[in-house]
């Protein structure tokens, strides 16, 4: 069957932008159109990073696949941005350290933000943004095994903001009143070089009467970490009734590397006021290595074919078209050693009675780099928590990569595919939390060369979205694209939040 893709979408403003969560299992444009999953679906070179077992599978007849400059990005904004140019502008601004008067509320923006994210008495809300550029990818088939090599860069920003920064009214639950003025923000850049292979595990293949195959895949990789930082500020106020005194629980921790440590060092020493730290003007400062490490991605897929599909027997002669796939993978299992300008600061955990909650902020938190340096003013006296920590450590340190578990299922019958994925993070990091996230999507081909895709993501603490993608597919090349729109508690919107495209994807028989 001939395949390739082309779809024109106005919101491709994200293409080639190195952005700031890797909220989706894959930013592959086909996967993004299906809602962001792909543990069972992705079979090209990008399976290295999602489920290497799928390298053994064929979506079309070819011997060699080459991909250049595949990219995608997702940007979640606190305030509504319907215009693509305005979203692109704000997105670029978040890659800078903000000025003191940046992101100031005007008009009814404060209430709009509360209605948008803190409805139903939510006391905090998580937001995230992210991007991936797959600089180069190649996949080829051997007689018994399949191989792939890829180089990519991904950046991610994930932050949670307490309602108490925007609203002075407490949230009530279980006869208690809460004011949450906590903030966390994690940012990380990773450059990855991966090589992997996939093969059929014959011992388990054929356990069922139908034609089936058990496939395993393994993809070790070398990782260079760019500058990153983690802010963890806890500031919660609790009381039993309106006449009772407030009890405050507070703590602060900060960790950084590279260019961010220079800013943190200046702020902690008090040598430069936090309002005058200056912008990060050189993109290389955000991309240059500050750590190195190694990791492994591995996965398994059990594939059943049915009807007249004999592709598992005639490997290399025809693609699989009628099947059920069950997949499981572990990704980013490894460590990073941070060596360039490591900085770790830790404050004391304090519990105090009868304090006054901080006044609401006149700014909103947009996730800009080190925005907490101007956003947090402990006690309302202009002192940032980093200026009052108990210890600072400049020794190199190790940290886990964003390890996660994925399961996926895909049902394919000729021109229809239906898929579902579950993802569970094992570590709390810039790319994902430890909460379970699910993705569902479907693909329908009205014509053999014209796939139409749609999907969505379901997550407890994240804003929703819905996705669309389409394409025209040929034997020798693909050009893919997809777009995502915000979904709110009141229903779907036409606010674009993400886009993905592939510049060139070649197939050689």
Specify burial of residue 375 (Cβ count, 10 A radius: 0-12, 13-18, 19+). Answer: buried
Q: Is the pLDDT of residue 215 over 80?
A: yes
CA distance 501 to 72: 6
Give the lowest-confidence range in 153-157, 205-209, 343-347, 457-461.
Answer: 205-209
Please give the average per-residue pLDDT across 419-424, as a whole number: 92
Contact predicate 258/285, CB 8 Å: yes
Question: Which pLDDT band, with edges at 50, 70 and 90, does 11 fall under?
Answer: very low
Q: Is the pLDDT of residue 21 over 60?
A: no
CATH 2.60.120 fits 12-508, yes or no: no
CA distance 178 to 164: 9
Give the lowest-confidence range in 151-160, 379-388, 392-401.
Answer: 379-388
Q: Is the pLDDT of residue 14 over 50?
A: no
Per-residue pLDDT at 143:
81
DSSP readout, 231-246? Answer: EEEEEEEEESSTTSPP
Please give the average per-residue pLDDT across 397-418, as a whole number: 92
Question: Which pLDDT band, with edges at 50, 70 and 90, does 2 fall under?
Answer: very low
Please give the average per-residue pLDDT across 328-350, as a whole number: 92
Please give the average per-residue pLDDT across 342-371, as a whole number: 87
Q: What percent of the chain has pLDDT over 70?
A: 85
Please give the average per-residue pLDDT across 270-279, as a whole number: 61
CA distance 294 to 290: 14
Contact predicate 2/468, CB 8 Å: no
DSSP state of 97: P
Q: Is the pLDDT of residue 41 over 70?
A: yes
Span 92-144, pLDDT tens digits: 778 778 876 788 898 899 999 998 888 888 888 888 888 888 999 999 998 88
Element (H, E) at 127: strand 124-141
Residue that wins the pLDDT comparison between 146 and 83: 146
Question: Which pLDDT band, with edges at 50, 70 and 90, does 189 fall under?
Answer: very high
Span 48-96, pLDDT tens digits: 999 999 999 887 888 899 998 888 888 888 888 877 777 777 877 787 7
Residue that wins the pLDDT comparison between 457 and 276: 457
CA distance 181 to 376: 10
Would you state the torsion angle of the CA atoms of residues 340, 186, 255, 221, taken in this order, to the nearest 10 degrees? -40
- pTM for this prediction: 0.87
CA distance 237 to 167: 13
Contact predicate 464/484, CB 8 Å: no
Domain ranges for the chain, please list them. 12-508
Please give the average per-residue pLDDT across 177-205, as a whole number: 88
Question: Which pLDDT band, with edges at 50, 70 and 90, does 157 fall under?
Answer: very high
Selection from 115-119, 357-361, 420-424, 458-462 with the highest mean pLDDT: 420-424
DSSP readout, 316-342? Answer: TTS---EEEEEEEEEEEEEEEEE-SS-
Residue that wins the pLDDT comparison between 113 and 273: 113
Residue with structure tokens 């948008």? 116
Closest among 211, 215, 227, 223 to 260, alpha carbons compared: 227
Give the lowest-confidence range in 7-16, 205-214, 439-448.
Answer: 7-16
Q: Is the pLDDT of residue 212 over 80?
A: no
CA distance 70 to 63: 20
Residue 183, token pair as written in the block: 């903030």
- Average pLDDT value for the chain: 83
Name beta bridge partners: 247: 238, 353
Element (H, E) at 284: helix 283-287
Judged by DSSP in three states, 199 sits in strand
CA distance 87 to 102: 16
Please give the average per-residue pLDDT across 440-451, as a whole number: 91
Rg (CA), the chain: 24
Please give the average per-residue pLDDT across 431-452, as a whole number: 90
């Amino acid at each position: 069957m001939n395949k390739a893709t082309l779809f024109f979408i106005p919101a491709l403003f994200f293409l080639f932008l190195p952005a700031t969560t890797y909220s989706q299992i894959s930013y592959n444009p086909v996967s993004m159109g299906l809602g962001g999953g792909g543990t069972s679906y992705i079979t090209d070179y990008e399976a290295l990073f999602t489920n290497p077992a799928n390298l053994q599978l064929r979506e079309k007849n070819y011997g060699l696949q080459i991909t250049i400059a595949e990219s995608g990005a997702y940007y979640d904004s606190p305030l509504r941005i319907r215009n693509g140019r305005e979203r692109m502008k704000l997105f670029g601004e978040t890659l800078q350290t903000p000025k003191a008067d940046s992101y100031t509320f005007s008009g009814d923006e404060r209430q709009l933000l509360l209605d948008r994210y803190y409805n139903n008495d939510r006391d905090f809300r998580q937001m995230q943004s992210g991007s991936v550029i797959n600089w180069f990818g190649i996949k080829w088939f051997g007689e018994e095994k399949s191989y792939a090599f890829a180089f990519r860069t991904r950046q991610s920003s994930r932050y949670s903001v307490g309602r108490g920064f925007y609203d002075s009214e407490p949230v009530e639950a279980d006869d208690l009143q809460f004011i949450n003025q906590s903030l966390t923000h994690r940012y990380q850049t990773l450059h990855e070089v991966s090589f992997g292979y996939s093969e059929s595990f014959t011992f388990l293949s054929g356990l069922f009467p139908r034609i089936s195959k058990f496939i395993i895949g393994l993809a070790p990789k070398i990782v260079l970490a760019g500058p990153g930082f983690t802010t963890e500020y806890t500031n919660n106020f609790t009381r039993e009734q309106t006449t009772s005194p407030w009890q405050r629980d507070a703590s602060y921790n900060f960790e950084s590397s590279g260019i961010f440590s220079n800013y943190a060092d200046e702020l902690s020493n008090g040598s430069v006021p936090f309002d005058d730290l200056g912008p990060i003007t050189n993109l290389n400062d955000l991309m240059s290595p500050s750590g190195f490490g190694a990791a492994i991605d591995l996965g398994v897929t059990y594939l059943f074919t049915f009807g007249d599909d004999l592709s598992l027997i005639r490997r290399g002669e025809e693609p699989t078209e009628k099947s059920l796939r069950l997949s499981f993978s572990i990704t980013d299992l490894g460590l990073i050693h941070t060596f360039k300008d490591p900085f770790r600061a830790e404050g004391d955990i304090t519990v105090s009675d009868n304090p006054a909650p901080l006044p609401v902020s006149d700014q909103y938190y947009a996730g800009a780099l080190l925005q907490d340096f101007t956003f947090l003013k402990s006690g309302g006296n202009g002192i940032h928590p980093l200026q009052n920590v108990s210890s600072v450590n400049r020794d190199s340190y190790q940290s886990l990569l964003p390890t996660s578990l994925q399961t996926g299922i895909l049902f394919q019958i000729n021109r229809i595919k239906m898929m579902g994925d579950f993802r569970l993070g094992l570590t709390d990091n810039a790319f994902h939390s430890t909460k379970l996230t699910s993705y569902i999507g479907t693909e329908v081909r009205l014509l053999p060369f014209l796939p139409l895709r749609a999907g969505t993501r379901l997550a407890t603490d994240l804003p929703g979205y819905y996705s669309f993608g389409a394409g025209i597919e040929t034997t020798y090349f693909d050009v893919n694209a997809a777009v995502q729109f915000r979904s709110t508690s009141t229903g779907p919107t036409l606010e674009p939040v993400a886009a993905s495209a592939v510049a060139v994807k070649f197939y050689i028989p």
